[in-house]
Amino acid sequence: MMFRGTGTALVTPFTKDGIDYHNFGRLIDWQIDQKVEFLVVLGTTGESPAVSAAERTEIVRFAVARVKGRVPVVVGTGGNNTPHAVADSREAESLGVDGVLVVTPYYNKPSQEGLFRHFKTVAESVDIPMILYNVPGRTGVNLLPETVARLADIRNIVALKEASGSQTQVDETIRRARRVRSDFLILSGNDDQAFHLVNAGGHGLISVLSNIAPKETSDMVRAALAGRVVEAREMHLKLFPLMKNLFMETSPMPIKYGVSRLGYCDNILRLPLVEASENCRAQINSDMKECLGV
């Protein structure tokens, strides 16, 4: 189970006119040293819509070379144009990644049958593992449990990143997916639901929080997976203010600021995203001191 545990959805460090590869490499090394199980590059947290095609290629190539096989590398290749998602997934495979993360198509709001055919087409275009990503709050479409169960029958669709925000939907998805395939993974896409998802039978987390708390986040998930519920719950509650307030403004605005406080990037985002507000930055300062002592 390559993607069991905690995967950090990495921010992309920018300079004023490009990619900050120096700090990107430092961030990758720190994440691995802090024992996260895998890394996700160019997801929502990595501001993938604001990265050019040429930059995308170089970011993926750099990440794979820097990681050097120490942990699996997953790359976000989703979009609302199926041929583009296929092309990005094939390129990621050619660059040596261990898996792709494919979000539900946004804006055009496909039906459940359209979602099934989209994901099936992308999955069948590559030989590497694929993780589905459901985040209706951003995309306007919800990948339902029955559709996940259909997709779980496709050999290289190995996991779902579930960020619907509904524990009822999580439970139903776990129930249906395990009937189809015992090794299909359900990963939380929300830090504040990871403890609950794992204790309902899920398998881990793709995390925003672990950009600034990789050890603490992955320790919490490992404790929950090992059945140490009281220990995991205490870790969850300790980190909860950050889990909540890293989303008080549009992500990745707050987390980019948090990472900049630790010196692993400058607080530079690309339009249409802007820096977190003064009020948000003050809250993140307070929460990082309370939860992490930094």
- What span, in angstroms and rounded, lies between the C-alpha atoms of 65 and 41? 13
Single out the catalytic residue among 161, 256, 257, 264: 161
Closest to 150 (Cα-Cα) out of 115, 188, 182: 115
Determine whether 133 is an active site residue: yes
- What span, in angstroms and rounded, lies between the C-alpha atoms of 255 and 240? 14
Residues 3-39: b if buried by 16+ CB within 10 A, e if exposed: bbbbbbbbbbbbeeeebbeebbbbbbebbbebebbbb
Determine whether 120 is an active site residue: no
Q: Which residue has the tokens 């590398």?
A: 73
In DSSP terms, 40 is beta-bridged to: 9, 74
The number of C-alpha atoms within 13 Å of 143 and in the hemisphere containing its C-beta is: 30
In DSSP terms, 207 is beta-bridged to: 8
Single out the catalytic residue among 133, 256, 257, 264: 133
Q: Which residues carry out catalysis?
A: 133, 161
